[in-house]
Structure 1
Amino acid sequence: MISLPNHTRSISSESQGELLDEVERHLRFLTETVEDRSVGSPGNQAATDYAHDVFSKLGWAVEEQTFEALDWEDGVAAITVDDEHRFGCSASPYSDGCDIQAPLVVATNLDDVRQLPTDGALLLLTGPIAQAPLLPKNFPFYKDDAQQDIIAALEASGAQAVVTAASSAPMIEDGDFGLPAVFVSEDVGQALVGHSGRHVRLVSSCRRRPSAARNVIARINDAEPERIVVTAHIDAKKGVPGALDNATGVTMLFLLAKVLDTYAGSYAIELVALNGEDHYAVPGQLAYLQANPDLGSACVLNVNIDGIGYREGKTAYSFFQLGANFEEAAKAILTAQDQACEGIAWAQGDHSMFVQAGCQAIAVTSNWLLENMFTQTITHSQADTMSLVDPEHLLNTTAALKRFIEAVDQNQH
């Protein structure tokens, strides 16, 4: 039987108002004062400076991991046909810009890409081939052979640039992709199909910009050989507020730093603001893994916080590879709360790299977002603002995680 801490509350009622004020202050800085937290951007640098300052003022030892990262600047993009018809389009994130004139070739499947006369063309992808976004070709954690075949065929096609026609998001978001790329709506794609074979002009003024970024790591009780690592990604998609994705997760790191500032138990505690979950190359995650080759043995547990605090529904805790003691404590303390539940296993987060290294892990998110992962249009959009956040969820989850850490620590003795 798991032994629970004697107290029933981890955050006193007297501190509730103070912590709510802090939540608002942190979220406002990360989502409004900073206008763009994409990796390598000036706003991203400001956000990591802010995290370093918060952790330091709370007395935690702070380390930064600096790494190269490609930043990107958007620009105007348009397709014109014979100077008569103009079609609006958007540059695919992290694409090179271009100004080309070429015959338009339409491909609806991989055989078209391989067999049609695409050399020197502007290649329009529509229909079946454009239905799913392509993973970045060098994505380190997962490969899809069918998608790799499409990417290889496009890069070998001899086309000057690629236009993708899909329902919403860009099909290509990859700074390693070898061709300039833009995307259009399905309706615009169908209109362009009518100009197949004609010479068209594509102008896209976006550009890539070499930059650098940092992970921010705060530690306490660092002499202990085993550690509990709590992660939240500090970056966001280019140009979006990123309140739920993932300013709330970073704010929870700050809250945990405050309520665990006197922790002196059996584990080292590491709070990590990772920088790259929403970047095609996940550079911060790779930098962290490179600096921690012993992750599977040194990290006894990862808690990854991403998408926490949505105003509707409960907080979801998903468990991965938990041993009996950790699972018992998690179910007794975390999912037993009125506003919490056990979530489905999901792989689209930074906990996955810990799971792949053999670590126990708990992923924490909003259950509504988890249940609507493939249909919701909030995250990665301009709608992801502070107005969607219930700060009480952050405080309740912070209190629960504090009690959980104390419980598993107590049962080490």
Structure 2
Amino acid sequence: MTEMFYKIVGERVIGSVKNKELNQLICDTAMEDGFETILFPFVCKYWKKGKSSITRFGVTYEIYTGPFSASYAGSRNFIKAGTMEELACACCEDDFLILTDSLSASPLMPMNFPFYFPEEHKQLIELIEEKKPAAVIAVTGKHPMCGLNPFPLFEDGNFKIPNAYIDSSTANIIFESNDPVFLEICSDVTEENCSQLVVAKKKDTPTAGRIVICAHMDTKNDTPGALDNAAGVAVLLEVMKKLSNYNGPYDLEFVPFNGEEHYEVKGQLEYLNYIQHMQTAVKMVINIDSPCMKGSKTAYSTYNFDKSLCDLVDRKLEEHSKIEKGPEWYAGDHVMFAFRGTPCMAVTSSNLFEDALELTHTPKDTAEQVELHLIEVTAAFIVDVIRALDSRDRPS
């Protein structure tokens, strides 16, 4: 599994060559182990960033390109807004709108995001669009849920206004005077053919339902994604290998979700559309995301579990010294099932909130951050949970 882990590590943005190669590798591995494979094709937006900059008084400062932004080049005055009240009063049509303070404190959810789109985000985006700025520049800091500093305020191909983001030190230089600045945003958005893979082990006889084991396989730009989520995919493949001869009462589905790090989440939507037409219900989802960080244990959290299911998993916990129960978290692929009432178990590193999130989505998320022996340990725990569920629900 160590060799497979190193094959997975590397930037694998949805639509990229590396992403497509990994999808094929997982498919080939599954077929070699005797699983059925299904591919659901779709078209996604693929983003390549260029270098963006602001020039003031002949001095050029490199800035960060907004993911999926349109390109732009031009000189304009700028208007600052740090509150909704300031934005409502701003006259910034065809000028640069610079968002600060509460308006840029946390990332905005993509427009039309199918699972969650807060009303306050909707109101802010609509007001920005109403103001018709030539471009938007966000002054941001440390991302609340990953290691990016600064972070992009927008990550949305449906937001058509060119956008970029800067840190506070660059903002302070710009704010030294009200003179016009020259802004250049270099960004390239194309369409690519992608696919969502589903690996299945189905019973020939009536089934007790389906157990879904999933881990997202894609990354953000500019990160090797070792912890997030090459380690999770490696655990998924190890569980798949251990259950290649599975003959329990459930159908099994292994889903390397392709799109968790993308604003369109098309892989997830393809899978949800697929299961909508299935006769057998999903009895449990096990989502593996950012496990096996060095210096940690593996932590699991549960959602919509009844007492008997909680007791079953807790008994398995006693047999695994490197596994512990952790807090609930609502930022992974298990959430779209948990909100539907499906019993879910999320598997991650025990230090997710203390240390792991500081690495995610950054160049620091390298293979050296992963405790390789925990891949086997984590997979063994998941298999034991599934086997225990089998024993409980196997027809007598």
* Fold in common (TM above 0.5): yes
Aligned ranges 1:216-295 → 2 under 5 Å: 216-223=197-204, 224-225=206-207, 226-293=209-276
Out of 174, 179, 186, which is 2:161 matched to? 179
- In the TM superposition, residue 221 of structure 1 has moved relative to its aligned partner by 2.7
User: Which region of structure 1 is more displaced relative to structure 2, 220-229 or 255-264?
Assistant: 220-229
* 1:128 matched to 2:102: yes
- Note the residue ranges of structure 2 that are not aligned, 5 or more in a row: 142-149
2:145 — aligned with what? none
| Residue 147 (structure 2) aligns with | none
**1:178-237, CA deviations, whole angstroms, 9 ceiling, x for partnerless residues?**
2111111111112212233x2221111211111132221111134444110000001011
Aligned residue among 17, 23, 29 for 1:54: 29
d(CA) in 1 for partners of 2:91, 2:386? 62
- 1:7 alignment partner in structure 2: none
CA distance in 1, matches of 2:358, 2:386: 34
Does residue 400 of the first structure (1) align with residue 378 of the second (2)?
no
- RMSD of the alignment, in Å? 1.7
Q: Counterpart in 2 of 1:137?
A: 111
3-state SS of paired residue (2:215)? strand
Which residue number corresponds to residue 30 of structure 1? 8
* Contact 2:74–2:184 (8 Å) recurs in 1: yes
Task: Check conservation: 2:222, 2:361, Cα contact below 8 A.
Answer: no
For residues 353 and 390 of structure 2, what CA distance do their matches in structure 1 show? 29
Letter in 2 for 1:212: N
Q: Percent identity?
A: 28
* Cα contact 1:126–1:189 (8 A) shared by 2: no
- Cα 1:296–1:201 shift into 2, 3 Å: farther
Matched residue of 1:146: which SS? Answer: helix
SS in 1 for 2:194: strand
Does the C-alpha gap of structure 1 residues 89 and 117 become closer, same or farther in structure 2, counting only changes over 3 Å? same
Is the contact between residue 217 and residue 273 of structure 1 (CA under 8 Å) also seen in structure 2? yes
For 1:163 and 1:220, locate their aligned partners in 2 and report how far apart those are by CA, in whole Å.
49
How far off is 1:390 after superposition?
Answer: 0.9
Alignment of 1:78 with 2:29, yes or no, is no
Deviations 1:47-95 (A, max 9, x none): 111111111111111111111211101101111134x232220101111
Query: Does the 8 Å CA contact 1:106/1:193 hold for their aligned counterparts?
Result: no
Amino acid at match of 2:103: I
> How far apart are the structure 1 equivalents of 2:59 and 2:341?
56
Give 2:369's aligned residue.
Answer: 388
With over 3 angstroms needed to count, the CA separation of the structure-2 counterparts of 1:296 and 1:385, relative to structure 1, is: farther
Partner of 1:204: 185
Aligned partners of 1:72, 1:220: CA distance in 2, in Å? 35
One-letter identity of the residue aligned with 1:187: S
The C-alpha deviation readout for 1:331-352, integer Å capped at 9, x for no partner, is: 1113652111111111101011
The equivalences for 1:333-412 within 5 A come to 333-334=316-317, 336-372=319-355, 376-412=357-393
Q: Report the alpha carbon displacement of residue 176 of structure 1 after superposing the two structures with TM.
A: 1.2
Shift, 1:114, TM fit: 2.1
What one-letter code is carried by the residue in structure 1 that aligns with 2:41?
T
Q: CA deviation at 1:283?
A: 1.3
Residue 139 (structure 2) pairs with residue 165 (structure 1): yes
| Secondary structure at 2:256 match in 1 | strand
Instruction: Give a deviation string over 1:151-180, Cα, whole Å, max 9, x none.
Output: 111111110101111112111111111211
Name 2:144's counterpart in structure 1.
none
Q: Contact 1:76/1:204 (CA < 8 Å) preserved in 2?
A: yes
SS in 1 for 2:293: coil
Q: Is 2:75 the partner of 1:101?
A: yes
> What is the one-letter code of the residue matched to 1:386?
A
CA apart distance, 1:296: 10
What is the aligned length?
384
Residue 188 of structure 1 aligns with which residue?
Answer: 170
Q: Distance in 2 between matches of 1:90 and 1:222?
A: 51
How far the C-alpha of 1:297 sits from its partner, in A, is 6.2
For residues 135 and 97 of structure 2, what CA distance do their matches in structure 1 show? 6
Verify the 8 A CA contact 1:306 1:365 in the aligned structure 2. Answer: yes
TM-score by length of structure 2 reads 0.93
CA distance in 1, matches of 2:50, 2:383: 45
Q: 5+ residue gaps in structure 1?
A: 1-21
Q: Deviation of residue 294 (structure 1)?
A: 5.6
> Corresponding residue for 2:19?
44
Aligned-pair distance for 1:368?
0.4
Pairwise CA distance, 1:295: 7.3
Gap change, CA 1:390 and 1:372, over 3 Å in 2: closer
Flag the 1:347–1:99 CA change in 2: closer, same or farther, 3 A.
same
> Pick from 295, 303, 311: which aligns with 1:320?
303
Q: TM-score, normalization: structure 1? A: 0.89
What code does the residue aligned with 1:329 have?
L
What is the SS of the residue equivalent to 1:38?
Answer: coil
